[in-house]
Amino acid sequence: MRELMGIPEGYSVLFMQGGASGQFSAIPQNLTAPGDTVDIVNTGSWSKKAIAEAKKYVSVNVVADEKASNYSTVPDAAALAQTPGAAYFHYTANETIGGVEFDYVPDVDAPLICDMSSTIMSRPIDVSKFGLIYAGAQKNLGPAGITVVIVRDDLMGKARPETPSVWDYAQMAAADSMLNTPPTLALYLLNLTLKWVKKNGGLEGMAARNQAKAAKLYEAIDNSDFYSNPVAPNARSWMNVPFLVADPSLEKEFVSSAADAGLTN
């Protein structure tokens, strides 16, 4: 991961468990004290879950909420009203369900935290812009059961005392991600994926593949009068391309016909 992503010195790579959902709690537990405020952007389903979980620990300022577009957009970079003194700034690089993807990396004062569950390894990323990147493995890296956390070292060692040890970044780093039994088969498969990425052009190669795949899908959808994609052009995901039936009255029939043909979930 260090080689493929060009992860600089001063960052630790942790292999944890509990999924990206676990990190929705682990991040405030590790990076905040009671009474702190954090900034979170709401671009859809996964942001909402991150916000709900963070609210158990800290005061959350939703710095931008894309509700008005029914979560089919990302906010303008200039519209991100940061809270002075916020413990961190969190966003979801790609909303896996909505197919809404940031086309920029926010430039903020607070440590930048990113849910990259469906973005990691899909293209080159400048890790040095981030305080912490996390990703459940099961989209781009391997099977479920591993959560990758790439954390800047100065952000570790401040976990709240009640933080479970297996979710304390400093303790996990000190134990080389083996504070508890690691999911060895999942790690083995993740490593095979990384080798495959390396053999296939590294992250530049992945970016080219992903862009090409997405372009084909959007082209087919846009050229069709039967399907539509609701996402704003600048926010269209390379990773998840949702489609709707353009005529909503056909949606029920489409879904049941698809299920009859074995195409469901």
Ligand X SMILES: Cc1ncc(COP(=O)(O)O)c(C=O)c1O
Give catalytic residues, as residue numbers.
46, 115, 139
Between 92 and 122, CB nearer to ligand X? 92
The span from the CA of 127 to the CA of 81, in Å, is 23
| 167 near ligand X, judged by CB under 6 A | no
193 by Cβ neighbours in 10 Å (0-12 / 13-18 / 19+) ranks as middle
Q: Residue 57 CA to chain centroid, in angstroms?
A: 21
- From the list 182, 180, 189, 196, the residue with the least C-alpha distance to 143 is 189
Distance of CA 248 to the CA centre of its chain: 30
Hey, which residues between 235 and 264 contact ligand X (CB under 6 A)?
none
118 binds ligand X (CB under 6 A): yes
19 lines the binding site for ligand X (CB under 6 A) = yes
Interface pick for ligand X out of 102, 115, 151, 239 (rule CB under 6 A)? 115
Closest by CA to 41, choosing from 78, 1, 77, 92, is: 92
Task: Report if residue 17 touches ligand X, rule: CB under 6 A.
Answer: no
How far apart, in whole angstroms, are the C-alpha atoms of residue 151 and residue 131? 6
Considering the rule CB under 6 A, would residue 20 count as an interface residue with ligand X? yes
Shortest Å, Cβ 38 to ligand X: 17
Residue type, 196: W
> What angle (nearest 5°) sits at the alpha carbon of residue 184, between those of residues 3 and 12?
40
Is position 92 an interface residue for ligand X (rule: CB under 6 A)? yes
| Minimum CB–partner distance for residue 216 and ligand X (Å) | 22
Binding part of the chain for ligand X, among 57-65, 113-121, 170-178, 182-190 by CB under 6 A, reads 113-121
Regarding 163 and contact with ligand X (CB under 6 A), the answer is no
Among 72, 117, 163, 237, which residue sits at the site for ligand X (rule: CB under 6 A)?
117
Kindly state whether residue 21 participates in binding ligand X, applying the rule CB under 6 A: yes
Please state whether beta strands 89-92 and 37-42 pair in parallel, antiparallel, or not at all (unpaired).
parallel
The tokens for 118 are: 């469906």
Nearer to ligand X among residue 42 and residue 118 (C-beta)? 118
Binding site for ligand X (CB under 6 A): 19-21, 46, 92, 96, 115, 117-118, 136
